[in-house]
Amino acid sequence: MKPINIFLLTVLLSLPVYAHAAEFRGLIEPHRVIKIGSPTEGILATVDVDRGDLVQKGQVLATLESSVEKANMEAARARAEMQGPLKAKQASKELFQGKKNRVEQLYKKDLASASEMEEAEANRDVSDMQLQEAAENKRLAELEYKRAVEVVKRLTIRSPVDGVVVERFLSPGEYIKEQPVIKLAQIDPLNVEVIIPAEHFVSIKVGMRAKVIPEAPVGGEYAAVVKIVDRVIDAASGTFGVRLQLPNPGNRLPAGLKCRVIFPPK
């Protein structure tokens, strides 16, 4: 028997073991695709992005014609900021409160009649209610202004995610009702969808890491994590679906690529 080459054995043991690693074909897809519309009907005033543009969450994508709504908002703002009626009622209350106090002093000295005292108290009570009404009207005006601001906001279409514009459906001047204006794809992170034979069902777990190798010309190796393992096996094909999440900072990888997914050995 030939002696064992200790050096060669050491080198072989130190190499990564892929002999029992499981490899499958997969597809890299967007994390989600969103069709962006408007909650309000109207005429599109602007569409600020086009196909292929990268957008950030909160970025303005389009706006609707809003001249009337903005005018209503400014009128509501002016009413909400008005201080005159409230100050007038406050002054009126102080005036009638002072009169009531003077009449009360005279009444105690029998220098004013009961009817004069009752009239002074009634005037004071009315001024109290008028002041409360003025305060309530101001509060209502402030709420109307907030409502007008929200109406104007609804006429601005913003991106709900960081992503890329896949398609633009409408242009400025067109009427929007229920149809989408923009289609966005969120590509950070990416989803990697894999169909796996049922014999591997017990070995694929949520949280497992795997290596994703996109097809040419992109290539490279990237780490992904299993996020979803289907709990129902397709009886006809004897397979089940697995979704991995692949971080994609800077959107360096495009969606739509085929890839190889390599799971570590058991």
Same-domain status, 140 and 180: no
The mean pLDDT of the chain is 89
Write down the pTM of the prediction: 0.73
Which pLDDT tens digit goes with each residue over 89-147?
889 889 988 988 998 888 888 888 889 889 889 999 999 999 899 999 999 999 999 99
Query: What pLDDT is stored for residue 155 in this prediction?
Result: 95
**Residue 242 scores a pLDDT above 80:** yes
Domain count, the chain: 2
Q: Return the pLDDT at 20.
A: 63
**Cα angle 60, 51, 246; round to 5:** 90
- Chosen domain end from 83, 118, 153: 153
Is 185 among the domain residues? yes
- Is the confidence at residue 5, as pLDDT, over 50? no
pLDDT attached to residue 258:
95
Question: What's the sign of the alpha-carbon dihedral 181, 53, 187, 192?
Answer: positive
- Can you give the pLDDT at residue 152? 94
Q: Which pLDDT does position 216 carry in this prediction?
A: 87
Question: 258-263 and 222-229 as β-strands: parallel, antiparallel, unpaired?
Answer: unpaired
With cut-offs at 50, 70 and 90, classify the pLDDT of residue 62: very high
Q: Does residue 262 have a pLDDT over 90?
A: yes
pLDDT for res 3: 47
Domain hosting 112: range is: 67-153
Residue 158 belongs to a domain = no
Enter the tokens of residue 19.
């002999």
Supply the pLDDT for residue 86: 87
Instruction: Tell whether the model's pLDDT for residue 17 goes beyond 60.
Output: no
Is the pLDDT at 16 greater than 80? The verdict is no
Question: Residues 30, 96: one domain?
Answer: no
Report the pLDDT value the prediction gives residue 103, as an integer from 0 to 100.
86
Residue 192 lies in a domain: yes
**What's 212's domain CATH number?**
2.40.30.170
